[in-house]
Amino acid sequence: MENVIGAGPSTVIHDQDIANNESRLVAEIGVAKWLAFGVVIPLRVFDTSIRYLDMSGQAVDIENPFIHHNNQTLIGLGDPWLLGRFARKLGDFTVGARLGVALPVGRIEEDPFELGDMGLAHEHSQFGAGIVQPLFGFDVSRSFGKLRTELYALSIQSLYENRNGYRAGDRYAAGLGAARPLGDSWRVRATFEMQAETAERWNGVVQTEEGNTGRIDLLAGIEATYRVTDTWFLAAQAKLPVYTHVVGGQLDPSLFVGLTVGTTFQLFGGEEDHAHGDDHDHGDEHGHDDHAKADWTGLDMQAVDGARDLVPVPDKITVFDFWATWCKPCVVLDGELAELARKHPSIAVRKVDVADVDSPAYKKHLRDAVIPHVKVFGRDGKLLLELSGDPHELAEAIEKLVK
């Protein structure tokens, strides 16, 4: 009920358009084969406009129109995330988990309902929750040829109210995704996602006439990623709500769009001990070519003389695989690389038999590193990655460069 100019107290519809924009700086650093730490810093822009309508849909003017709403643009930082990510290969599956916190950096507001009851101007848009919020998630993925499928979930919990009496709703997201490359530079990904949020509270009370009182959204999404170079990529994403369940009068969502610019680079060398250096048997395995188990038919793979300089293949991602006949993990990596080369024709594999630690190839290229060991060069001939380790994780690291 509002006081309409020229008509007195009347029922008025608050017809508000809100455009929310969030830009995120995302950084992640791998500190071990199975562990990475990351940070997400959001910058939010809330653009709002308001019209007041009578029950017939005609625009009306009310007294004190800007107590509740304004035509305005608000800009500020949101609550940044600090995350730890864990990942392991379990058979054909890659399993990951995320644990972290959202820090109370974003601007918070005083109770808008209390201010509104007093006839004072107020703001409903919050840039942050005003509390430390734990967050956790998991993901499981598996590849079927060139198709990579995934299941993922994430939750952010609000365990208590902030200093102004505000307690944000708990947030949940879960989804299914499928991605595959298109040629050497493109990748497309389709998703189907559920997002849910419980009701917010002010001083322990759910305000049913306005604000977030709980909702569930189902969204279908499509994403396209273009690899500009071996280290830079561009991505565009769109999500369309296909079903929405809300409690009370809330916003009707429209199309969600996103743009991403990203890069990867290596900060540290790859000569760390991954406990594979002595994991072999020098007995009957000498003279037996276990690499014959991998099918390299029709693929760009050659054996090269490790005593010479490494020469990358022009216009291809070149993987130099340092191996020896006694190295059991090298056999596993051989199969992983053959599968990668079949999925991604832009990969050329060059095999370097280092024989033993006293060989010229070992002394020239590995020094103190252990095998399996790879050096990966980009299409421009520059070194992108050098790493020793578990064969499955080496293959994953190489595939990330291709994607």
Locus of tokens 């992983």: 336
Count CB neighbours of 69 within 10 A. Answer: 20
Residue 209: both structure tokens together = 């006439």
Q: Which residues contact 263 (CB under 8 A, 6 or more apart)?
A: 231, 232, 233
pLDDT at residue 378 is higher than 60: yes
Q: What fold characterizes domain 290-402? A: Glutaredoxin (3.40.30)
72 pairs with which residues across the strands? 48
Q: Report the relative pairing of strands 147-156 and 93-102 from DSSP bridges.
A: unpaired
Average pLDDT estimate for 177-182: 90
Locus of tokens 């300089």: 309
Any idea where the domains of the chain sit in the sequence?
2-263, 290-402
Q: What confidence tier does 230 reach under pLDDT thresholds 50, 70, 90?
A: low
89 pairs with which residues across the strands? 94
Domains 2-263 and 290-402 share a fold: no
Residue 191: both structure tokens together = 């998703």
- In Å, how far from its chain's centre is CA 181? 18
pLDDT at residue 374 is higher than 80: yes
pLDDT of residue 11: 80
Helix (H) or strand (E) holding 335, with range, is: helix 328-343
Residue 67: both structure tokens together = 């107590």
Instruction: Annotate 249-310 with DSSP letters as a single string.
Output: S-PPP--EEEEEEEE----S-S----S-TT-B--STTTT--GGGGS--TTS-EEE--TTSPP
Count CB neighbours of 338 within 10 A. Answer: 19
Q: What is the pLDDT of residues 44-77, one digit of tens each?
A: 998 888 888 878 888 887 777 667 677 788 899 9
Q: What confidence tier does 112 reach under pLDDT thresholds 50, 70, 90?
A: confident
Q: What confidence tier does 134 reach under pLDDT thresholds 50, 70, 90?
A: very high
Instruction: Annotate 135-167 with DSSP letters as a single string.
Output: EEEEEEEEEETTEEEEEEEEEE---S--TTSEE
Helix (H) or strand (E) holding 134, with range, is: strand 133-144
37 pairs with which residues across the strands? 29, 84
At the top level of CATH, the class of 2-263 is: mainly beta
CB 127 within 8 A of CB 166: no
The reported pTM is: 0.65
CB 138 within 8 A of CB 153: yes
Angle at 250 between CA 244 and CA 253, to 5 degrees: 50
- At residue 332, φ and ψ (nearest 5 deg) are -65, -45
pLDDT at residue 274 is higher than 60: no
Rounded Cα distance, 380 and 312, in Å: 9
pLDDT at residue 154 is higher than 50: yes
Q: Which residues contact 8 (CB under 8 A, 6 or more apart)?
A: none
Separation in Å, CA 151 to CA 81, 142, 356, 357, 358: 22, 9, 42, 43, 46
